Structure 1
Amino acid sequence: MGKTRTVNEIADPLMVAEVWMKEGRNVAIATVVETWGSAPRPVGSHLVIDVDGNFQGSVSGGCVEGTVVFEAGDVIASGKPRMMAFGVTDETAWQVGLSCGGRIKVYVEPLG
């Protein structure tokens, strides 16, 4: 028989989302849907967030995760998805650390 892995041992954010949902947690998933220029993570990268602000995965290698996690709380509460855009020409990009010259769009949606 195989050993049951803990969430900390699971690398795939989608599998973490499944585990968290089975535990009864309210969850959102953020997905990189578009990149331009020098983007830290490719299209299709995921970050899963629960209502308490726990998260697993990455949409930017650490640059915008804090902002995405914060906004995910609103997405979970409202049940309404949100498109977020970050780019070097955007003042927000400098505030969150995305100064690499690229631009990313992240779609955040509630699960369950």
Structure 2
Amino acid sequence: GTFLGSVSGGCVEGAVVTEALDVIASGQPKLLEFGVADEAAWQVGLSCGGTIRVFVEKVGA
């Protein structure tokens, strides 16, 4: 597929892409949430505060 745009200016991009690949394979949508209280947030670089929610869904062509 093609990667277009940005989710957060880079801090969670890799994690979202990884989850998106799972969604493409399974066909099951996911709601992802990253926040400073989450261990995953620190791993992906979201230390600036706040919460990011991303809905990932496979869209057929």
Q: What is the TM-score of this pair, normalised by structure 1?
A: 0.52
- Paired residue total: 60
Equivalent of 2:29, from 58, 77, 81? 81
Identity rate of aligned residues, in percent?
70
1:70 aligned residue: 18
Q: What is the TM-score of this pair, normalised by structure 2?
A: 0.92
Shift of 1:94: 0.5
Runs of 4+ in 1 over 6 A off after TM superposition: none
Which structure has more relative contact order (CA 8 Å, sep 6+)? It is 2
Structure 1 unaligned spans of 5+ = 1-49
Structure 2 unaligned spans of 5+ = none
Q: Distance in 2 between matches of 1:81 and 1:87?
A: 20
Q: For residues 1-112 of structure 1, what are the structure 2 equivalents within 5 Å?
A: 50=1, 54-112=2-60
Larger-gyration structure (1/2): 1
More strand by share: 1
